[in-house]
Structure 1
């Protein structure tokens, strides 16, 4: 028998709400003013909000909002399909608080895995709806942390109206340097970016793109990405380097001429690397199994990049050599394999 949540004690109602899926909580919050208050009283909090924005092949803009768990699981809250006009026979007015409301067509379904999905079709200005939804979801989930944003299938230059974006993934087929500038202008607080798109054109050496703290590139790129990087963690998954490029990097780090903030560098190269040639140009200390205590056993890396899982590097291994920065004696550990280059700076 159906239960009217608004007619049972608040404590019990809040307990019931806490057992709902995030998408169900969202639907309950837009049913009425009283149900919205009940949702807020339940005090449900989420670990991380992620927004996904796609310009589809049929020229509709799809805007999805969900929760990313600590184990990188995506749990949907709602989605918006921006269309030119609505089905007038199925109008449903959604009230999002703060005087914001929108006429919509509303759709509900379950995925094969049992996940409950809702989608709002909306014909008004997309940026207005996007901001109103963010404010509403922040309110019902008591959320004030930073947001993740995924952009995919670019057809236009528009970017979603989302604030407090600090982590981003770009999945477009191609982008140009001007688009990257627009992204960093629109979201100036980004500290982590993962780019799986091919960048057509040269990114200026002084671009703020190279100053982002945590950067991953999954497309073919060259040594300029390393030479111009000012951040903390750099991961290039499809790079082309010469031994001289890598020697230059090491010499600049050792002399403290550059890479002052660098913590980790991972390069997966298209061309083979001669590790012996690189090591011949620097002073280093090999691992001595008779004195294992001279270096840490484990180096833990947890970079907030999309899809990146925490890594444990075993430093008490002959594969890693130790080098030091001349000015302050700071230690780093270097491993060079045929197609991999790993550089790990020990934290104080």
Structure 2
């Protein structure tokens, strides 16, 4: 039996809306202009609005209070269907087919559209999502194919981008950064191929840079040694957060970073550096830190814990990190303090204000 929510008084309406999942609120907002305004009265607050493109459609996720929710999925199909119907999406009418998904699916409903509708679908879904929330959320983009990259230009105000594909040409990455100059963070879940990035590449100036090793990278590193690109990234990076996951590289690159930071030659804005090695290949550190004369924390000179800005590099751990057992190092001439943690699989380096 249908529940006439729009006929309830205002306060009961708000209480009902609070019980709904974000996906349910999105579906409710499509029913009519009145229902959309009703959803807007809930004053939904989200920190991150993420658009994921794979070349065959677009998926929308939102992050609120460190929880990620999948809200909408629009899928490209090749053949028209007799039960297509127009929906009001972001102020525009879009021809779509609504599909009810099995109970085990992440979403209860998805929407199918034809190629001729794709541009308006992408433009409308982002406008629609922005108008549902109380504040302006941070916009992130995930691209899982070159085909997706070619369609991404209609997504506006993007500050963080994740490239999740097998390979990515350095020239393509550089062109992307030149057309989207407001990037705060980049995640590379792809093997960079092509000419090395120049010393003046825009990549070095993003606040957060995360590099994820792939299985192909791991095989090549075992056979050929660490990728040349990794020392280049470490040497040229000028941002705040630099993270490597499942990546091998020569420990000398890590030592050189500390030397240059301590001497105030580089990394003036660095706040965090970390790396984790592939599970089967531990870091062989040996006496890598002996030259730095590290000292134990005295409980006074710097905080006990650090909490990283997960919006800059979204995969960074979101809870506070206890640094009480980490070793400390100070820049030459009485400069900033930093703390270091090294295990068989992890290296972490945090700079204190």
Q: Same fold (TM over 0.5)?
A: yes
Gaps of 5+ in 2: 218-226
Measure, in 2, the Cα distance between the counterparts of 1:24 and 1:278.
53
Does the 8 Å contact 2:90/2:126 carry over to 1?
Answer: no
Does the 8 Å contact 1:300/1:310 carry over to 2?
Answer: no
Measure, in 1, the Cα distance between the counterparts of 2:100 and 2:179.
33
Aligned pairs, number: 332
5 Å-filtered alignment, 1:20-59, equals 20-55=20-55
TM-score (norm 1): 0.84
Question: Which structure has the larger Rg over C-alpha atoms?
Answer: 1
5 Å-filtered alignment, 1:192-341, equals 192-201=185-194, 202-219=196-213, 220=217, 221=227, 222-269=230-277, 272-280=283-291, 282=292, 284-287=293-296, 292-296=298-302, 298-304=304-310, 305-310=313-318, 313-317=321-325, 320-341=326-347
User: Structure 1 residue 131: deviation in Å?
Assistant: 1.7
Equivalence for 1:137: 129
Equivalence for 1:182: 175
Measure, in 2, the Cα distance between the counterparts of 1:231 and 1:130.
31
Stretches of 4+ aligned residues off by more than 6 angstroms:
none
TM-score (norm 2): 0.83
Q: Which structure shows the higher helix fraction?
A: 2
Equivalence for 1:92: 85
Measure, in 2, the Cα distance between the counterparts of 1:65 and 1:82.
14
Q: CA RMSD in A?
A: 2.7
Out of 110, 123, 126, the residue aligned to residue 118 of structure 2 is 126
Distance 1:323 1:41, change over 3 A: closer
Equivalence for 1:164: 157
User: Structure 1 residue 175: deviation in Å?
Assistant: 0.8
5 Å-filtered alignment, 1:62-73, equals 62-73=57-68
User: Structure 1 residue 177: deviation in Å?
Assistant: 0.8
